[in-house]
Amino acid sequence: MSINIGKIQMPLGIMLAPMAGYTDRAMRLVCHEYGCEYSVTEMVSAKAVVFNDKKTFSLAKILPDEGPVAIQIFGSEPEVMAEAASRLENPEVGASPVAIDINMGCPVHKIFSNGEGSALMRSPELIEKIVSSVKSAVSIPVTVKLRSGIDSSSINAVECALAAEAGGASMVCLHGRTRVQMYGGKSDREIIKNVKNCLHIPLIANGDIVSGDDALSMLRDTGADGIAIGRGAVGNPFIFSEICAKLTGKDGIAVSLSERASTALYQLKTAISDKGEGVAVNEARKQISFYLKGFRGAAALRQKINTSTTYAEVERAFAEALAES
């Protein structure tokens, strides 16, 4: 199993799925260090890129010390999407992306109600136009993120994936839930399998992968070319080393509490260098809480971290917890 598309090189087919509010450079960097082969930025608005919004460009910034990273854009107008992709391919600051990923799966109401994200799955014809327009505007691969459909009565992932392929997409990542399901229920592997059987381009399977065994069973059940880990990697970049071990027939290595703490602090320190201490500490709380698995008195530690405002306070909280564990 290997995916090689331009500069997207995934010998094991393991990627970090894009997640708004989570997959910033700090998280991407840590996940790559533990075995993630390819990652995608948080989604950025194509319109905001065209209007030169500085905050949007900061979300899309990639640095040379990262592994292969794609930039994900969202929107619904083919011409605007193409213009945004063209501007992002060769940024004035930072490294160039290895691909442009198009979000056609976001279920959030604000995005959906604007006819963007998963709302695009209402019109496979528009999907093909958008992909074709973006493809003609850049020299790097164009990929697409989809869901199984809008709801249980409109499961059309096969039709939408084929439209993306017809438009020139080099790869599709499919989350096996509908838009209505959001992140509840179970990811439908049968739908992922059906899409895989219809495509001539690589398919990445996404949904409910929180362990090495989940990764193996997903690949076995769907025949997918690779897997994307989303929520399972939040506060748990170690899942990538676990999956790498499983896929290569090796024994995984248990993660110590000290390694969990040092990795959380490293991720926070990286975020601080990008965003400043106040913003980074505030944003990091939701991720750090997931790093606390196995700590004695995790609830009390979580409370300390949730009220911390500086790196030093977070570091001290971990040091105290380690001394008690």
Residues with active-site annotation: 106
Question: Which residue bears the tokens 């460009």?
Answer: 57
Q: What tokens appear for 57 in the block? A: 């460009």
Q: How far is CA 169 from CA 59, 136, 165, in A?
A: 23, 11, 5
Non-local CB neighbours of 113 within 8 Å, separated by 6+ positions: 119
Between CA 167 and CA 102 the distance in angstroms is 12
Non-local CB neighbours of 38 within 8 Å, separated by 6+ positions: 8, 9, 10, 14, 15, 16, 67, 68, 69, 70, 98
Between CA 205 and CA 229 the distance in angstroms is 9
Cα radius of gyration (the chain): 19
- Number of neighbours of residue 64 by Cβ within 10 angstroms: 7
